[in-house]
Amino acid sequence: MRDFDNMTVILLAAGQGTRMKSPLPKVLHPISGEPMIYRIIRTIQSLGDAEIRVVVGHGKELVSRVVDGLGVTCLIQEKQLGTGDAVRVAMEPPTDGDVLVLNGDHPLITADDLSKIVREFKSSDVGMGVVTCELGEPGSFGRIVRDSYGTVQAIVEAKDATDVALKIKEVNTGIYVASSDIFKKYLPQIQSTNAQNEYYLTDVVELMRTDQKEILGIKANRNVAFGVNSQMELAMANKEIYRKKVDTLLENGVIVLDPETTYVEDEVEVGSGAVLYPGVFLRGKTQIGALTVIEPNCMIIQSTIGDSCEIKAGSYIEKSEVGERSVLGPYARLRPETKIGKECKIGNFVELKKVDFGDKSKASHLTYLGDAEVGEDTNIGCGTITCNYREDKKKYKTKIGSGVFVGSDTQFIAPVEIGDGALIGSGSTITKNVPKDALAVARGRQIVKEGWATRFTGKK
């Protein structure tokens, strides 16, 4: 059995997040390219089959829609009356077994942190554990009050604390793990008589003490306590998470010239000996082959790049595949459903969309190919355009065979097919199929009138 099987996890996400100063609900702000709340849900799910209950309030429709399909239940807290009230909402319908309470806005928590917390609780025989950590500047965190034996006696909110209590460095991270019976018994007893007129979940501690019940203080690292409350903290969290990913790449033999300015999302895989220049952004389920070089300011999204490729500066690649030893860019753009073969060349200002581009073929300059098939060893000249969009507002295909030479400034009016080995003269507008090995020229004939220029210039 895994640590989280048969557990209930309550994720608190109803707060407004006023200090974010953004119209987006706080838990939907992006961490490593996805809404903050996805990350914590995925972390929980990696630890077992817990029932996840998300308490939503501010922006509830949007948050519920975003987490729909992730296998969690959203419970609505109509008014944000405090963390105690939020957990009360989440305990309906009541659950059995152990309950873990987490904040939706603590993105630096790892699966390892959570599993340690739950294990420590399970190996004790107390009814509730509070996760704490020591902070040099405890600020607005609730303070953990212990007696002279070190037993946890209370959690005092900063706004309610005496000067003596404010000096305590051990703080409440806002994470709790308890047997559901404890919440069932004590949540209804919480009052809102405090500085904020809120129902404090933390009051459960004192209520338990009144009944002589022990509370476990579970010590964790400071990342566990790190909550996002402002754009500054969001930026710090992102920095930390991107940096961690780059550190793993470095450990696996990837060459990263400037780890601070290289952004790689969690699911990306990069082969050893690959080189990432500054300003590279790798997103989604992207795979980069071994020894591939990615020059500055490339954005690569959900794509697969083979081994020993060169992706030159400023290229943008989305939902595409590139075969080994191909060279792209600078400033190449691959739009979704493009498949580039091996040893190809896609040069500057070339845009491809839904193209199957065969091995060893080239499109070196200033070209648009859309809805096209290109065979092997074909050369697409500078300024070639597939005109795929017709007067009936439908898209049509251009099929170009293998060993074809397309002269510069050619337009293919789709649907059109060019046979293997064909030659297309520069400046052609191709409207009809061209058979194998044929030459097609489709341009106006040049007219030369000797001396006529002087009629305009007046020169003799």
Window 9-28: contact mask with ligand UD1 (x via CB under 6 A):
---xxxx-------------
Any contact of residue 204 with ligand UD1 (CB under 6 A)?
A: no
Enumerate residues 27-66 that contact ligand UD1 by CB under 6 A: 55, 57
Please enumerate in sequence order all residues whose Cβ is within 8 A of that of 161, keeping only pairs 6 or more positions apart, or say none: 143
- In the set 72, 100, 152, 171, which binds ligand UD1 (CB under 6 A)? 171
Window 217-236: contact mask with ligand UD1 (x via CB under 6 A):
----------x---------
Query: Which tokens is 384 given?
Result: 């070639």
**Contact status, residue 368 vs residue 385, Cβ threshold 8 Å:** yes
Query: Which tokens is 34 given?
Result: 């996805």
- In the set 33, 59, 142, 358, which binds ligand UD1 (CB under 6 A)? 142
Please enumerate in sequence order all residues whose Cβ is within 8 A of that of 6, keeping only pairs 6 or more positions apart, or say none: 49, 50, 97, 98
Q: How would you label 390-413 residue by residue, b for 16+ Cβ within 10 Å and e otherwise? A: eeeeeebbbbbbbbbebbbbbbbb
The neighbouring-strand residues paired with 310 are 293, 327
Window 60-99: contact mask with ligand UD1 (x via CB under 6 A):
-----------------x--xxxx-xx-------------
Least distance from ligand UD1 to the Cβ atom of residue 342, Å: 50
Q: Pairing between strand 293-294 and 170-179?
A: unpaired
The neighbouring-strand residues paired with 301 are 283, 318
Nearer to ligand UD1, 90 or 309 (CB): 90
Least distance from ligand UD1 to the Cβ atom of residue 162, Å: 16
C-alpha 221: how far from chain center: 25
Any contact of residue 174 with ligand UD1 (CB under 6 A)?
A: yes
**Does the annotation mark 365 as catalytic?**
yes
Between CA 26 and CA 28 the distance in angstroms is: 5
Enumerate residues 348-387 that contact ligand UD1 by CB under 6 A: none
Instruction: Determine the size of the site formed for ligand UD1 (CB under 6 A).
Output: 28
Any contact of residue 407 with ligand UD1 (CB under 6 A)?
A: no
Least distance from ligand UD1 to the Cβ atom of residue 167, Å: 16
List phi, psi (to 5°) of 209: -65, -40
Any contact of residue 177 with ligand UD1 (CB under 6 A)?
A: no
Any contact of residue 103 with ligand UD1 (CB under 6 A)?
A: yes
Between CA 327 and CA 322 the distance in angstroms is: 9
Least distance from ligand UD1 to the Cβ atom of residue 23, Å: 16
Q: How would you label 145-170 residue by residue, b for 16+ Cβ within 10 Å and e otherwise? A: beeeeeebebbbbeeebeeebeebeb
What is the binding site for ligand UD1 (CB under 6 A)?
12-15, 55, 57, 77, 80-83, 85-86, 103-105, 141-142, 155, 157, 171-174, 200-202, 227
Catalytic residue ranges: 365
